[in-house]
Amino acid sequence: MSLTPDQQAEIDEARSTPRPTLRAVSPGIEAHLHSAYPVLDHGLIRVIDYMGDDAAIVQAARVSYGRGTRAVSNDEGLIRYLMRHWHSTPFEMCEIKFHVKLPVFVARQWIRHRTANVNEYSARYSILDREFYIPAPEQLAAQSTVNNQGRGALLEGDEAQRVLDILKDDATRAYDHYEAMLSQTQADGSPQQGLARELARMNLPANIYTQWYWKTDLHNLFHFLRLRADAHAQYEIRVYAETMCQIVRDWVPLAYAAFEDYRLGGAVLSAKGVAVLRRRLAGEAVTQESSGMSKGEWREFEGVWG
């Protein structure tokens, strides 16, 4: 992970000047504020700011339910009730802002989550750093034979080395050309105009790192984490989501526990799945053919219930 000297100075200043506040404070996330956690080879994630805590979710829910909340006497029970019944707006009362440094191909997946506010480093205005994601050998895997969107067995020996060499050579050559195009001096020392930054960047590969501030509310963050911390998510985005899960667990422990139980660790059943489970509980041996499910559905069903 590499922070620029300016970013490090900003963090040092923020950490050395605590301020008293009348706002709700979550002790768990205070410990994470302004700490940069390394992700992948040069990436990072850190919490810039947050608003709300478990109590803010409960407070919002009690506004909407009023006297009705008497039935649920404690905060944990109410939060679990809200999560279980997809009553999502109380979770939107909490917000969080991250600074993320990530490879561009990961950013393309991440940016698809539209319910966030994003401000990205400008490669029109600034020159990108010579930092490229090169996978660790244990991530260099072949195309999966069962999942078109996944990886299978690890590459071995010479093949793994060849792939690493190609990735490093291409990154080095592309960045050398980027610098050569930007430069106002040619290789032989004679002057040239230098290509605009907004154009020179177009030959950079998708494993170069970019950075952004990313702000979202807890409801939409849970949606993001549900998809991206899932075991089927691509490793390179999953490691960011897993780091965020640790932070969110400390920020809103009750809400995170409910999320972990009902969403992250829970499973969705189709009507056909419910019928198969009922038939099995009644002692019937159900097969894929007699289940009414496709082969893919059956494989996924058996993965959870088999």
Ligand X SMILES: Cc1cc2nc3c(=O)[nH]c(=O)nc-3n(C[C@H](O)[C@H](O)[C@H](O)COP(=O)(O)OP(=O)(O)OC[C@H]3O[C@@H](n4cnc5c(N)ncnc54)[C@H](O)[C@@H]3O)c2cc1C
Pattern of binders to ligand X over 81-120, x per CB under 6 A?
-------------------------------xxxx-----
Nearer to ligand X, 57 or 237 (CB): 237
231 exposure class (CB count in 10 Å sphere: 0-12, 13-18, 19+): exposed
Closer residue to ligand X, CB minimum distance, 62 or 223: 223
67 is a contact residue toward ligand X (CB under 6 A): no
Choice between 77 and 150, CB closer to ligand X: 150
Cα within 13 Å of Cα(57), Cβ side: 30
Q: Are 245 and 32 in contact (CB under 8 A)?
A: no
Residue 272 found at the interface with ligand X (CB under 6 A): no
And the tokens for 232?
Answer: 């089927």
Based on the residue annotation, tell me whether 46 is a catalytic residue of this protein: no
- CB of residue 170 vs ligand X: minimum separation in angstroms? 24
In angstroms, the CA 90 to CA 61 distance is 6
Residue 79 phi, psi (nearest 5): -65, -40
Q: Specify the stretch interacting with ligand X by CB under 6 A; choose among 122-130, 162-170, 220-228, 282-290.
A: 220-228
Residue closer to ligand X by CB (options 65, 105) is 105
The 3-state secondary structure of 182-240 reads HCCECCCCCECCCCCHHHHHHHCCCCEEEEEEEEEEHHHHHHHHHHHCCCCCCHHHHHH
3, 182, 227, 257: which one binds ligand X (CB under 6 A): 227
- Residues in a beta bridge with 117: 215
* Residue nearest to ligand X according to CB distances in the complex: 114
Can you say which residues are annotated as belonging to the binding site?
Answer: 89, 109-114, 120-124, 201, 217-219, 223, 228
Our measurement of the distance from residue 290's CA atom to the centroid of its chain's CA atoms, rounded to an integer in Å, reads 39
Which residues are annotated as part of the binding site for dUMP? 109-112, 120-124, 201, 228
Alpha-carbon span 67 to 76, nearest angstrom: 17
Our finding on whether 223 is near ligand X (CB under 6 A) is: yes
Give the active site residue among 23, 62, 173, 228.
Answer: 228
Instruction: Pick between residue 4 and residue 117 the one whose CB is nearest to ligand X.
Output: 117
The contact mask relative to ligand X for 180-219 (x = CB under 6 A, - = no) is ----------------------------------------
Residues 57 and 81: their CA atoms lie apart, in Å, by 12
Is 19 one of the binding residues for ligand X (CB under 6 A)? Answer: no
User: What one-character DSSP code corresponds to residue 71?
Assistant: G
**Least gap, CB of 87 to ligand X (angstroms):** 16
Question: Contacts with ligand X in 231-270 (CB under 6 A)?
Answer: 232
Name the residue among 91, 135, 133, 103 with its Cα closest to residue 225.
Answer: 91
Using CB under 6 A as the binding rule, whether residue 146 contacts ligand X is answered as: no
Query: Is the distance from CB of 210 to CB of 104 less than 8 angstroms?
Result: yes
Residues of this chain that bind ligand X (CB under 6 A) = 112-115, 220, 223, 227, 232
Active-site positions read 228
